[in-house]
Amino acid sequence: MPGARDLPHPETASLVLTDVLFALSDPSRLELVRRLTQGPLEVAACQPTGGDVPKSTLSHHLKTLREAGVIRNVPEGRQRYVSLRRQDLDGRFPGLLDAVLGAPSPPQSTPGR
């Protein structure tokens, strides 16, 4: 049983807070994390809404999130499923993800005009 195409994921106990905060500090990565709360996505579906980001760029962001322990990226046949490591994050950093996800996402929602 050869094709073990698994990427490395940090253990829950060794997740580093500042790495998680950094991974979440990028708007496009954070938006993806928000979408992942709805459920796992295949990589192609991780594209920003309507955006057309090169595969390598997207893959790089996924790597940042994965190495910080925010997401899991597992092979499934010919594609990959990306999912939020919610329980792990909640276990190690209680309340953090909820606070981040509950916070107002856009800088401000242009009121008037």
Partner DNA sequence: TCGATTGTTCTAAAATTGTCGAACCGTTAC
Partner DNA sequence: GTAACGGTTCGACAATTTTAGAACAATCGA
* Residue 24 site contact among its own copies, DNA, none (CB < 5 to 8 Å, cut-off depends on kind): its own copies
User: What's the rounded Cα separation, in Å, for the pair 24 and 87?
Assistant: 17
Q: Which stretch binds DNA (CB under 7 A): 9-17, 30-38, 56-64, 98-106?
A: 56-64
Closest C-alpha to 79, from 29, 36, 44, 47: 44
Choose between 43 and 100: whose C-beta lies nearer to its own copies.
100
User: What's the rounded Cα separation, in Å, for the pair 24 and 30?
Assistant: 5
Instruction: Name 31's Cβ contacts closer than 8 Å, sequence gap at least 6.
Output: 48, 49, 105
* Residue 78 site contact among its own copies, DNA, none (CB < 5 to 8 Å, cut-off depends on kind): DNA
Closest C-alpha to 28, from 110, 109, 105, 111: 105
Q: Which stretch binds its own copies (CB under 8 A): 24-32, 46-54, 56-64, 72-80?
A: 24-32
Task: Locate 64 and state its tokens.
Answer: 């940042």
User: Any contact of residue 39 with DNA (CB under 7 A)?
Assistant: no
Binding site for DNA (CB under 7 A): 2-3, 5, 7, 22, 26, 28, 42-44, 53-64, 73, 75, 77-80
User: Residue numbers of the site for its own copies (CB under 8 A)?
Assistant: 13-14, 16-19, 21-22, 24-27, 30, 92-96, 98-100, 102-105, 107-108
